[in-house]
Structure formats: structure tokens, C-alpha cells
Amino acid sequence: MMRKPTKSVTGTIAKAMIFILLLSVLTTNFAILTLASSLNDAEAVNVSGSMRMQSYRLAHDMQANSPLYFLHVEQFERSLYSPSMKALQSWDVPEEITNDYYQLIIRWHELKEVLISEEREQYLILVADFVDRIDHFVLKLQEHSENKLIRLAWAGGLGLGGILIVAVYVVLFVRKQIVRPLGQLISASEQIQNRSFDVKVDVNSDNELGILGKAFKNMADDLGKLYRGLEGAVNEKTHKLQHANQSLQVLYKSSQELTATRISHENFRAILSYIHSVEGITAVELQVTEVEGSPWVASEGKFNGNSERIKPLQLDGEVLGELRYQIGLPCPDEKLIDNFVQILSRAVYYNKTQRQTEQLILMEERATIARELHDSLAQSLSYLKIQVTLLNRSLNKEIDTLGGSRSQGVLDDIREGLDNAYIQLRELLTTFRLSIKEGTFGEALTEMLNQLDGQTSATIKLDNQMSSLELGANEQVHILQLIREAVLNAIKHAKASFIQVSCIEEDNAVVTVKISDDGVGFDQTIEKLDHYGMSIMKERATRLNAEFSITSAENQGCEVQFTFQRTKEPLSERM
């Protein structure tokens, strides 16, 4: 494909200037030549006019016999052959004038012969015709001079007109081809300076400015692309920095949750809300697993089954649960999610450790109370039982010797009271010595029921759907003791072959615990004076703010049930 030749603005302007220069030179030269030649014409007219006067002077000298006659003849001939008259033989003089000049010379020579002859009087007859010829010659010289001036005027007018036309053309050309494109380029440069790269340079010519305009527009387009690219890169970097800053803030706030005195389920929900606030996370769910019992589950957002991912919560090789999350666009940073997984893993681990620590502290306190009771009240009761036994023997001897005593009835009442007090104390000591070695409620409940299972031939079945994450240490102890007391009653008194323990937690944090058996049951209308386990269970249910109920009838088994609303925060110490 052949490239279209480029039109040059400077070339066009240069040609116009050269043309103007040529017109100026030609006009000036023509004027100078015309004026130079006109100078000879004026002299020739003057000389020709003097020749008329000299012709008449010769006629006068002839009549007056002037002594200057021959001198005047010579002067006439010098005038006829003067340089201005000889110049009439030049190429620029019309041929007609040149021929007339030659005719004058010839006629002069004819008249000269007459003037120097004896018949000079004939000159007076011929002089009139000769003067007419001279007049006619002078008239032609005047016309010739006038024609030169007219041609000079036309040449000057045409030259100036041509120069004016060319100058107007140059001005219009410059305005169209240079000024207007330059104005557009200046306007476009101001737009670019104002960061507006969508410029319009309407230069369709093929000259230098057209090429410059197209190159400028291409440059503006390229600058616009580069600027938008850089702006996009800056926005992307800014977005990444903002995202990183948000991630750091979220991680910092999540880490702050680990500094709480006691990590509770509220801390976990706060961390989940931070995770859900991360760009690209549409839903998140935390599941804390337990060896025994239902896992604790908390979530933020709604899952739709698309783009779900699961990451396990592990610490020191121990699986603590899993984090399930749903992603959208833009995709979140996996490293950030891994950091949240580590934070949640540590939070779950710390929660478990804190609960174990609380349980150990509580068990230590209860063991201390049990030792104090055993070392003080139990020893005193044992001593009193021994003294009552010795007193009973002494009274028996007195009865045998004296034949009866009223003190025997009183002694029997004292012995029965001491026995009952000792039984209650043993129940309290057994309760206080209950140990929870496992970290979760489910594990502790399973361990306790396994221990009780070894004391009976009955089958004990456990259905635990509770999570221990939100249970305080006192709550766990009270629930375990209630279950233990109910199971022990079924083992000792009900003669049951099957014992069912159910722990159910509803969505509104309502906990229901049932202990049922298929034993002999009992009549609830008959009060047993020596049955202290029932009163202890009611007391513990009261401490849990629970609704306690017993359903039983003879030969229809027994069901112990207590229901309570779990609090958001762990219960205070309830003894």
C-alpha cells in the first residue's frame, strides 16, 4: 500500500512568499526600466521641440543675412544627432518612431543642401513642411511616453493586485491550516492538563499540522489509557491497602476477644461477626465439637449452598471443631481466613482450659469443704455415736438391775437423730467429693454414668444433646449432681433394669434434663422421713432457677425432670 504524499504547509507558504517576491521584483524592475527609458523620451521631446524653433531661426537668419547662419545650421545638425535622438534607435522604441526619425534625418540632409546652395530662398518654401514633420514626430514621441506611463501603471497595479491576492491567500491559508489547528492543539493540551484525555482534534489535512494533530490525538489516547491504567492500579493498590487495613483491624479486634478474662460464647460470636464483615465472606458458621454431647454451633449470614469451604480448628494436633464459610466476589484472602482459624482454635482451646481450671478450682474448694466437714463435724458425730452407744449399754444394765427406765425412749430418739445426721453428712461428703476430671460436660457426664454403671446390673443409656461451651462450672456441677442423685435413687430404691438419661437443649437456650427408669416407682402421697435425696435435688434445682418435677406411681417407674433457661453469662458461684 503506497503512502499518500504529505502536503507541506511550510512549502506552500514558501511558494507564496517566493511568488510575492517575484512579483515585487518584476514590478520594480519593470518600473525602473520604464522610468529609465522615459527619461530619454522627455529629452527627445525637448530636443525635437527645439528643432522646430531652430528650423524657423534658420529661415530668419537667411532673410536677415545673419552672420550666425552657418553656426545655427551646425547647431541644428548637432541637435538632430544628439544622444537622446540616437536613443530612438533602441529595441524598445516603436519602429514607426524610428522610421520617422530616419525620415527627418533624410529630409534634413536634403534641406541642408538647399541651405548651403545659391538657391537658399527655396528653404523658406520647404520649411513649413519640415516643421510639420517635426511636429508629427514630437506628437508620436509624446504618445510613446504616455503609453509607457500607462503600461507602468498597469504593471504596478497588476503587481500590487497579485501581491495582495497572494497575501490574502497566505493569511487565509495560515488561518485555516495553522492558526485553527494550533488553537485546537492548545485547547487539547489544556484539557490534558486538566486530566481530560478525551480530546477532539479536527485536523483532516495531510500537512505537517494534520500529522501533528493525529499524533497528538494518538498521544492523548495513549496518555488516557496510561492514566486510566495507572489510576486503576492506584485504586487497586489503595483497595488492597484498605483491605489489608480492614483485615488488620478485624484481626486486631478478634485478637482482643482472646484477652477477655473469661472467653464465652459471646466472644466467639463477636469473632464470627468480624469474619462476616470481611469482604468476600457472605456467611460463616463455627462448630465446636465435643467428645460427648452435641457440638456448639454459631453462625452469621445465610448459606445458599454455593462456594462453601470448611477449615478444621486444630491446636497441638487436637481437633477442636471446624469453620464453615461461604465466599463471594471478590474472593477473600485465604491467609486471613487461616489467621481467623488460628484465633478461633486458640479461643476454643482457651475456653476449654478455662472451664477445666474453673472446674478444678471448684472441685478443690468442695474437696476442702468435705475435708473440713469430715475432720470436724463427722468426727464429732462419730464421737457422739460412740458415747450414745456406751450410754445405751449403761442404761441397759440399769434397766436390768432396776427393772426399766424412762430414759430408754429418749436415748433411742437421740440415737436415731444422730444416725440421720450422720447419713445426711455422708450424703454431703459424697456430693462435695464429686470430681470432674474431663474438660467438657459431656465427657464428665459420661464418666460419671460409667462409674455408676459399674454399681448396678441395670442398663444406663445416655442421650446428650447439650453443648458445654456455654455452661459454667457451677451449672455443670449442679446438673451432674442432680443426675447422679436421680440415677442413684433409681439404682438403690427403684430396682430398675433400664435407666434413661436425656439432656436436650432447644434453640431458645431452654435446657431440659430427664432421668427415667422402669422400676417399682413409689406413691408420691406417702412422705418418707428418711429420704433426704429428694430434698437435696429440689434445693439444687432451685439454685439453677429450674422447674423441678417428679412423676411416679407404684409399679410404673419414675421420671425426674428439671427445666431451666440457660443464662448468657456463666452463673455466679452457687453452693
**Residue bearing the bigger pLDDT, 357 or 486:** 486
CATH class of the domain whose range is 254-352: alpha beta
* CB neighbour list of residue 484: distance below 8 Å, 6 or more residues apart: 434, 448, 452
CB 528 within 8 A of CB 487: no
Q: Is residue 134 over pLDDT 80?
A: yes
pLDDT band with cut points at 50, 70 and 90 for residue 366: low
Q: Is residue 220 scored above 70 in pLDDT?
A: yes
For 526, the 3-state DSSP assignment is: coil
Whether 411 contacts 395, CB under 8 Å? yes
For range 251-274, the mean pLDDT: 73
User: Which three cell numbers, joined as nine digits, stand for 189?
Assistant: 493540551
Give pLDDT tens digits for 279-333.
778 888 887 776 666 677 778 888 887 778 888 888 777 777 888 888 877 777 7
- Residue (of 528, 369, 345) closest to 433 by Cα position: 369
pLDDT in tens, 197-207: 777 766 666 66
Q: What is the dihedral of CA 43, 46, 49, 53, to 10 degrees?
A: -120
Q: Minimal CA–CA distance to 159: which of 24, 17, 256?
A: 24
Q: Domains of the chain: which residue ranges? A: 9-187, 254-352, 436-575
The DSSP bridge pattern shows strands 318-327 and 281-288 to be: antiparallel
Architecture of domain 9-187: Up-down Bundle (1.20)
8 A C-beta contact, residue 269 and residue 298: yes
The larger pLDDT score, comparing residue 270 to residue 244, is at 270
H helices then E strands: how many in the chain?
A: 14, 9
Within 8 A by CB and 6+ apart from 478, the residues are: 540, 543, 544, 574
CA angle, 84 as apex, 83 and 87 as ends, to 5°? 85
| Choice between 152 and 366, residue whose per-residue pLDDT is larger | 152
Domains 254-352 and 436-575 share a fold: no
User: Between these two residues, 518 and 467, which has the higher pLDDT value?
Assistant: 518
Q: Are 345 and 263 in contact (CB under 8 A)?
A: no
Q: Does position 1 have pLDDT exceeding 60, yes or no?
A: no
pLDDT at residue 533 is higher than 70: no
Taking only the tens place, the pLDDT of each residue in 5-44 is: 556 667 777 788 888 888 888 888 877 777 766 667 777 7
Confidence of residue 370 (pLDDT cuts 50, 70, 90): low
CATH T-level topology, domain 436-575: Heat Shock Protein 90 (3.30.565)
What is the model's pLDDT at position 572? 39
DSSP letter (8 states) at residue 527: P
Give pLDDT, residue 571: 36
Distance CA 33, CA 38 (A): 8
pTM over 0.75: no
User: Is the pLDDT reported for residue 464 higher than 80?
Assistant: yes
